[in-house]
Amino acid sequence: MCADTWPSYTGSARKASELILRSIKCFEDTAYGKTKIFIRSPQTLTLLEQARSAKLPQVVLTIQRVSSTLGPHTIIASHTHTLTHSHNCSLTHSQPHTLTQL
């Protein structure tokens, strides 16, 4: 979702999260637990969703490019995540999960 983490990133997941949140200027509105990021305001969740939506066409093109090089019998499986904010805001998105060669 930001130039520092896309299309490839080799650092930790926490550092990638920090870079993404800094790129949309929302780092101060979050707190880190051991395995989760806590978002204080629904506006930050909205900004994250907008950033994801803006990047999605580029992600799709990359997946299509990779799929075309793998061959016609490749399945790209995806699953849907639903995130619910404590203020009853709901966010649903799909993301690529696995590549399976048939």
Please check whether residue 91 lies inside any domain of the structure.
no
Residue 61 lies inside a defined structural domain of this protein: yes
Query: What is the domain extent for residue 23?
Result: 13-72
Chain segment 40-50, per-residue pLDDT in tens = 999 999 988 99
Residue 89 lies in a domain: no
| Domain assignment of residue 35, yes or no | yes
pLDDT, tens digit (0-9, with 9 covering 90-100), for 64-88? 888 877 766 655 555 444 444 444 4
Q: Tell me the whole-structure pTM to 2 decimals.
A: 0.57
Quickly list DSSP for 13-55: HHHHHHHHHHHTT-GGGEEE-SS-EEE--HHHHHHHHHHHHHH
Q: How many domains does the chain have?
A: 1
Nearest to 87 by CA among 52, 39, 50: 39
